Each structure stands twice: as structure tokens, then as C-alpha cells.
């Protein structure tokens, strides 16, 4: 089986992650390099592990999380679609089974909130992991007046917690006073709505916390 380690050792993928990050850096976007890839990879697999998915599914989630943003090398718009198209041949050349390639490409190609749908368990885990990665370390150059920068910079801690028994997935953000919940929602609301859908796909309730206060109205409260 192709593993995350194999993917990490693939020079094509390493070059694509690096180049994608450079494209976004030139657009003054937040960090999308190896740190983001590693966080989304680890968190996606952790979500599936806590919900009892097998090791094969966890490994596919690790891979999808690691490579989901490589399409930014082509263009920021529809970058998930570009990622999926680029990945198909790379993973085929690595001798990954076609079924697994399709699962990963569908998940990656649907991770953007503007055009994506939750299409399989890997996709659901990837959405929750990706949308939860907001943190001050992602801000490369703090631009005053840029609400994305201001909100990200104010987040001093972010964490995803999964209660496999109660079927609750919690995304927790801790912000300092340099931004506000209103600012957060003004830019991240659609991402959190997609995360709610993703949690429901996995049979779970999604709870969004900011500074330990629940912000959303969880659809299926079980506690």
C-alpha cells in the first residue's frame, strides 16, 4: 500500500507543495506549505481513527490531507479541482490502486467551501481538518485592514477534538482581543457550515467553540 511516507518522499509532490506556497505567498495569503499540509494530514487521519475507521482509510486521509492544496500552483480559483487533476497521474505513477486514487481525488477536488461537497469519509475528515487550521503562525506578513490576517493573527490556539462515543466533533479556537467573534464569522462562516455538513456525514454533531463558548447550534446534541 502507498503510504504517507511514500508521498512525502515523492519529489514531484514536494516541488508542488513548495511552488503552491510560493504562489500564495506572492498573493499575500496565509501559509500553505509543509506546516499546513502536515496539520491537515494528521488531523484528518485522527478524526477517522477516533470514529473507528480502519488503517487503510486513515492512511488515505493522511495522504489527501497532505496533498490537498497543490493545485494552488495553477491558480487559487478552483485549486481543489486542479489538485485532484494533478494528483491522478502522480498517484497512478506511484502504483496506487485506482479505487484509492479516485477516493483521494474526489476528496481533494471537493474541499473548497465555494464549490465543494462532502463526498466520502475522507472528504468529510479533510474538510473539518482544513477549515480548522486558523492560527497566528499562518500569517506571514500582518497587513493592517486585512480581516483574514487580523483574525488569523488573533487566534493563539486551535484544536479539533473527537468524542467517538458521543459522536461529537468540536473545533475550538482561542482568540485574543485583537479581533472578535464577529470578525471570525464574517470570513469563516461558510467554512464552519461546511464543517457541520462534514460532521453530519460522519454521523456526528459539530460544535464550534470560540474561547470556550459554543457559537453554533449543533444539529444533533447528544450531551
Whichever of 75 and 143 has its CB closer to Fe ion, that residue is 75
| 144's grid cell | 493592517
CB-nearer residue toward Fe ion: 59 or 130: 130
Grid coordinates standing for 39? Answer: 496539520
Q: How far is the CB of 111 from Fe ion (least distance, A)?
A: 6
CA distances from 105 to 18, 67, 111 (A): 20, 10, 10
Rounded to a whole number of angstroms, the minimum distance from the CB of residue 25 to Fe ion is 14
Handedness of CA 79, 37, 17, 85 (dihedral sign): negative
Task: Report how far residue 163's alpha carbon sits from residue 21's, in angstroms, rounded to the nearest whole number.
Answer: 33
Pick the piece of the chain touching Fe ion (CB under 5 A) from 45-53, 62-70, 144-152, 180-188.
62-70
Nearest CB to Fe ion, comparing residues 188 and 218: 188
Nearer to Fe ion, 158 or 205 (CB): 158
C-alpha cell of residue 185: 464569522
C-alpha cell at 212: 470556550
Query: Total residues contacting Fe ion (rule CB under 5 A)?
Result: 2
Nearest approach, Cβ of 4 to Fe ion (angstroms)?
A: 16
Distance (Å, whole) CA 29 – CA 133: 14
Name residues contacting Fe ion, limited to 101-130 (CB under 5 A). 130
Dihedral of alpha carbons 124, 125, 126, 132, sign: positive
Closest to Fe ion by CB, 19 or 163: 19
- The reply on whether position 196 binds Fe ion by CB under 5 A is no
Query: Please, what is the minimum distance in Å from the beta carbon of residue 68 to Fe ion?
Result: 6
Q: Which of 16, 48, 59, 69 binds Fe ion (CB under 5 A)?
A: 69
In the complex, least distance from residue 190 CB atom to Fe ion, rounded to whole angstroms? 13
Burial degree of 36 (CB within 10 A; 0-12, 13-18, 19+): buried
* Contact footprint for Fe ion (CB under 5 A): 69, 130
Amino acid at each position: 500500500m502507498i503510504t504517507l511516507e511514500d508521498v512525502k518522499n515523492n519529489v514531484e509532490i514536494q516541488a508542488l507543495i513548495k511552488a503552491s506556497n510560493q504562489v500564495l505567498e506572492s498573493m499575500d495569503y496565509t501559509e500553505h506549505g509543509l506546516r499546513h499540509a502536515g496539520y491537515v494530514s494528521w488531523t484528518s487521519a485522527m478524526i477517522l481513527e477516533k470514529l473507528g475507521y480502519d488503517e487503510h482509510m486513515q492512511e488515505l486521509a493522511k495522504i489527501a490531507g497532505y496533498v490537498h492544496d497543490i493545485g494552488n500552483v495553477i491558480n487559487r480559483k478552483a485549486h481543489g479541482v486542479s489538485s485532484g487533476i494533478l494528483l491522478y497521474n502522480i498517484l497512478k505513477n506511484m502504483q496506487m490502486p485506482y479505487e484509492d486514487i479516485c477516493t483521494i481525488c474526489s476528496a481533494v477536488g471537493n474541499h473548497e467551501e465555494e464549490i465543494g461537497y462532502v463526498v466520502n469519509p475522507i472528504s468529510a475528515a479533510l474538510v473539518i481538518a482544513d477549515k480548522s487550521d486558523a492560527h497566528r503562525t499562518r500569517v506571514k506578513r500582518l497587513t493592517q485592514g486585512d480581516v483574514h490576517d487580523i483574525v488569523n493573527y488573533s487566534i493563539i490556539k486551535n484544536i479539533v477534538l473527537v468524542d467517538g462515543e458521543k459522536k461529537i466533533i468540536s473545533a475550538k479556537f482561542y482568540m485574543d482581543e485583537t479581533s472578535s467573534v464577529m470578525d471570525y464569522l464574517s470570513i469563516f462562516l461558510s467554512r464552519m457550515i461546511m464543517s457541520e455538513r462534514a460532521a453530519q456525514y460522519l454521523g456526528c454533531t459539530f460544535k464550534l467553540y470560540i474561547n470556550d463558548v459554543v457559537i453554533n447550534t449543533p444539529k444533533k446534541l447528544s450531551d
